[in-house]
Amino acid sequence: MSDVETIGRNIKQVRMARGLSQAELARRSGIAKATLSQLEVAKGNPTIETLFALTKVLGVPLGVVLQETADTPVHVSRAEGRPVIEGAAVDMSLTDTFSAGGRLHEAYLVHVRSGRQEGVPHASGVKERWLVTAGRLLTGPTDDPVELGPGDYACFDADRPHFYEALDAPVVASLLISYPLGSGAAA
């Protein structure tokens, strides 16, 4: 199954499980109904902004719509097999999802290009944890950003406006997004 097919199938399944029509999900998320319809039939190439807007309304973490589920003894996430979602300045691919410490975690490999990517505020209690492996990144809450270089780590509450900006492009980093379990804080 292709990446777009997986995303489309998962969005449709969650939408239907929530009892939402395409029109209602489109209205609540601010996404055009035609765009949502195309996504659900595996056409188009959704951006980070589109997927975050949809998952926020659906009340699920981004990884729920990105990941093909498989029951295997060893989880391997091959670079060539992962969907890459693009934003204004960020390309990210989901490497894993797991639960620990009363939270759901999504691990991403992120490449930040030149420019600035505004982060969509998540629900209350969601945290972002960044570990930069190459380049210099300015990130964090819009009113209190931090500069990170190779080997630097930062954690911040992601339920308020935040951003990512490569000071030395490209930046390569790992991102762990943590959601409180059972609180409705997904997305």
CATH topology of domain 79-180: Jelly Rolls (2.60.120)
Pairing of strands 90-100, 162-180: unpaired
The reported pLDDT for the residue numbered 70 is 58
| Residue ranges of the chain assigned to CATH 1.10.260.40 | 3-66
CB-based contact 171:132 (threshold 8 Å): yes
pTM of the model: 0.74
Kindly write down the DSSP assignment for every residue of 97-157, as one continuous string. EEEETTEEEEEEEEEE-SSEEEEPP--TT-EEEEEEEEEEEEEEETTS-EEE-TT-EEEEE
* 116 closest CA partner among 178, 40, 171: 171
pLDDT in tens, the chain (187 residues): 457 888 888 899 889 888 899 999 999 999 999 999 999 998 878 888 899 899 889 888 888 888 776 556 676 777 887 888 899 999 999 998 888 888 889 999 999 999 999 998 988 999 999 999 999 999 999 999 999 999 999 999 999 999 999 998 899 999 999 999 875 555 5
The reported pLDDT for the residue numbered 72 is 60
Q: Rg (Cα) of the chain, in Å, rounded?
A: 16
CB-based contact 12:25 (threshold 8 Å): no
Q: Which residue has the tokens 């109904």?
A: 33
Single-letter residue type at 112 = V
The reported pLDDT for the residue numbered 118 is 93
CA end-to-end distance (rounded Å), the chain: 25
| Residue ranges of the chain assigned to CATH 2.60.120.10 | 79-180
Give the Cα separation of 146 and 136 in Å (integer): 10
For the domain 3-66, what is the CATH superfamily, name and number? lambda repressor-like DNA-binding domains (1.10.260.40)
The reported pLDDT for the residue numbered 1 is 44
